[in-house]
Chain A
Amino acid sequence: MKIFISVDIEGVAGVVVPKQGQPGNLEYEHSRRLMTEEANAAIAGAFAGGATEVLVNDSHGPMINLIPDLLDDRAELIRGQIKPGSMFAGLDDSYAGAMCVGYHAAAADFGVLAHTYSTRDFSAVRLNGLPASEAMVFGAYAGAMAVPVILLSGDDVTARSCGALFPGAEVVTVKTALGQRAAKALSPQMARARIRDAAERAVQSATRIKPYTIAEPCALELDLTSAVLADLCETIPVARRHSALTVGFEAPSIGDAIRWMAVCCMLGSHLV
């Protein structure tokens, strides 16, 4: 049984400030280690639960955060970007389930370091009219391949808002948000133990968990953080300007919706 694990950083126990997700400082060096250990906990649990193959996709920022020689050597690792599928790169319908480790709440919601794909570029993201988190967007991407999300870890807001999308999935709350940049967290050891146990149970029950799907074609709406970025996104021939700050796309598939979101995020770099 093949298991896919996507690992982000903001939802890791102990991570609370932007620096901890930004390469080039000591805080980040600590958090990438914590991130790698939470990934290891999920890998260990997955194998204990019956996985025969585990693929880990580094899913944060430059996507070279996980430290390869500290990662459980039974797993294969996808590093770097640009890559097709982004946070769920490498996933296909041969996987029995996907795990989202270190995930966080959606843009414009409460929750530690809540954002959707890019704090710099998006103040909110909607998919088919609903506020969209990364877990929702990529969960739907997996669902379109009939792969269920079987485990989600992060803070309490993530557990509440995203957990509801994936009935039957294991939801691990490793910290409780006290604000955008503050949380009450489990010790790293306790967080890993819970992730390990949940991953084991998740793999054991994977075949009984339903994929999360959304209606396709889908409507993607991006609230940009500035009108000039909205101007720039509107130069895309198929983009629709909905308001001074909002641009929308009709996408035939959730995969295309994700790509439009990523393109608009990369266009944001033009204005830096």
Chain B
Amino acid sequence: MKIYMSADIEGVAGVVIPAHQRPGNAEYEDARRLMTAETNAAIEGAFVGGATEVLVNDSHGPMTNILPDLLDPRAELIRGNIKHGGMFAGLDDSYAGVICLGYHARAADYGVLAHTTSDFAFARTWLNGEPASEAMFYGAYAGAMGVPVIMLSGDDVTEAHCGSLFLGSHFARVKSALGQRAARALSPRAAQALIRKAAEAAVRDAHHIKPYRVAEPCDVAFKFTSVFFADICATIPVAERRSPLTVGFKTETALDAIRWMRVCSSLGGHVRLSTN
């Protein structure tokens, strides 16, 4: 049984401030070790639960956060960016389930470091009219292949949101949000034990968990953090300008909705260079 893992960083126990998720400082070096250790806990649990193969996809920022020589050697690791499928790169219908580690709440919600893909770009995102999290976008992408999200880890706000999307999935709540940049967290050791147990149970349960599906074709919409940013994204020939701050796209698939999200987020580079 093949299990797929997508590892983000904001939902890791102990991670609470932007510096933790931004390469180039000592806080980040601590956070990436915690992220790697939580991933190891999930890998361990997956193998105990019956997985025969585990693929881990580094899914945060530059996607080179996990320390390869500290990662459980039984797993294969996808590093780097840009890659087809983004946070779920490498997933196909041969996998029995997806585990989302270190995930976080969506843009404009409560929850530690809540955002959707880019807090520089997006004030809000919608998929088929619903406020959307990364878990929702990528869970829908997996669901379109018939693969269920079987487990997630993160804070309590993430649990409340994702629990209602991925019915029957398991959740390891490693911290409770006290604000955007504050949380009460389990110790890393306790968090890892919780993740190990949840992963084991989820893999045992995988066949009983239904894939999360959204209606396709889809409608995806983004509220940008500035009108200038929206101006730039509205130059995309198939984009629809829906308000000064909002641009939307009609897409055939959930994957294409994700691709538009990544295209718009990447156009933020041009916004950064145009600050004058």
Contact between A238 and B270, CB atoms less than 8 A apart: no
- The reply to whether the CB of B260 lies closer than 8 angstroms to some CB of chain A is yes
Given the complex of chains A and B, what is the CA–CA distance between A231 and B273 in angstroms? 21
| B269→A269 contact, CB < 8 A | yes
Chain-B contact segment, one of A30-38, A196-204, A259-267: A259-267
B251 touches A237 (CB 8 A): yes
Question: CB-CB < 8 A to A82: which residues of B?
Answer: 228, 231-232, 235
Is the beta-carbon distance between A251 and B269 smaller than 8 angstroms? no
Residues of B within 8 A of A259 (CB): 235-237
Tell whether B259 is near chain A: CB-to-CB under 8 Å. yes
Interface size on B, residues (CB 8 A): 26
Bound CA–CA A237/B256 (angstroms):
6
Indicate if B79 sits at the interface (CB-CB under 8 A).
no
A236-B263, A237-B251, A237-B256 known; A270+B237 contact, CB < 8 A: no
Q: Are B237 and A251 within 8 A (Cβ)?
A: yes
Given A235-B259, A237-B259, A263:B267 Cβ within 8 A: yes
A267 cross-chain contacts in B, Cβ below 8 A: 263, 266-267, 269-270
**Is A178 in the interface zone, CB < 8 Å from B?**
no
Q: Which of B266, B268, B274 gathers the greatest number of chain A CB atoms within 10 Å?
A: B266
- When distances are taken between beta carbons in the complex, the residues of chain B under 8 Å from A53 are none
Q: Which of A236, A238, A251 has the most CB of B within 10 A?
A: A236
> Which residues from A are CB-within-8-Å of B269?
266-272
Q: Give chain B residues whose Cβ lies under 8 Å from the Cβ of A27.
A: none
Cβ of A232 under 8 Å from chain B: yes
Chain B residues positioned under 8 Å from A251 (CB to CB) = 237
Q: Is the CB of A266 within 8 A of B232?
A: yes
Q: Does A72 contact B (CB under 8 A)?
A: no
Query: B262 contacts the other chain (Cβ, under 8 Å)?
Result: yes
Residue of B nearest to A230 (CB): B82
Of B84, B236, B252, the contact of A263 (CB 8 Å cutoff): B236
With a 10 A CB-CB cut-off, give which of A62, A228, A232 has the most chain B CB atoms.
A232
Pair A235/B236 contact, Cβ less than 8 Å = no
Q: Which residues of B contact A269 (CB under 8 A)?
A: 267, 269-270, 272-273
Q: How far is the CA of A37 from the CA of B267 in the complex (A)?
A: 35
Mark contacts of B218-259 with chain A using CB atoms, 8 A cut-off: 1 yes-contact digit, 0 otherwise.
Answer: 000000000010011001111000000000000110001001
Q: Which of A236, A256, A263 lies in contact with B259, CB distance below 8 A?
A: A236
Which A residues touch B262, using CB under 8 A? 235
CA–CA, A269 and B83, complex, Å: 18
Q: Chain A contacts of B251 at CB under 8 A?
A: 237
Chain A positions 16 through 42: 1 when the CB is less than 8 Å from some CB of chain B, otherwise 0: 000000000000000000000000000
Question: Residues 134-151 of chain B: 1 if any A CB is under 8 Å from the residue's CB, otherwise 0?
Answer: 000000000000000000
- Asked whether A270 lies within 8 Å of B231 as measured between CB atoms, the reply is no
CA–CA, A236 to B84, complex, Å? 11
| Residue among A62, A82, A268, A272 facing the most chain B CB atoms (10 A cut-off) | A82
Q: Which of A235, A237, A268 contacts B82 (CB 8 A)?
A: A235
Query: A263, B266: Cβ atoms under 8 Å?
Result: no
- Assess the B266–A270 pair: CB atoms within 8 A: yes
Return the chain A residue nearest B261 by Cβ. A235
The interface centre, meaning the residue of B84, B256, B269, B272 with most chain A CB atoms within 10 A of its CB, is: B269
Bound Cα distance A171, B232 (Å): 34
Which residues 56-83 of B have a CB within 8 angstroms of A?
Answer: 82-83
**Minimum CB–CB distance for A140 against chain B, Å:** 16
Inter-subunit contact B263/A235 (CB<8 Å): yes
A268 to B262, CA, bound (A): 14
Let me know if B260 and A237 touch, CB within 8 A: yes
Other A-B pairs, 11, CB within 8 Å; known A235-B263, A266-B235: A62-B276, A82-B235, A228-B82, A231-B83, A232-B82, A235-B259, A236-B236, A259-B237, A263-B236, A266-B267, A271-B269
Q: List 11 A-B contacts (CB under 8 A).
A: A82-B228, A84-B235, A228-B82, A232-B82, A235-B82, A237-B252, A259-B236, A266-B232, A266-B235, A266-B267, A270-B267
Report the 5 A-B pairs with minimum CB-CB distance, sorted nearest first.
Answer: A270-B269, A269-B269, A269-B270, A266-B270, A270-B266
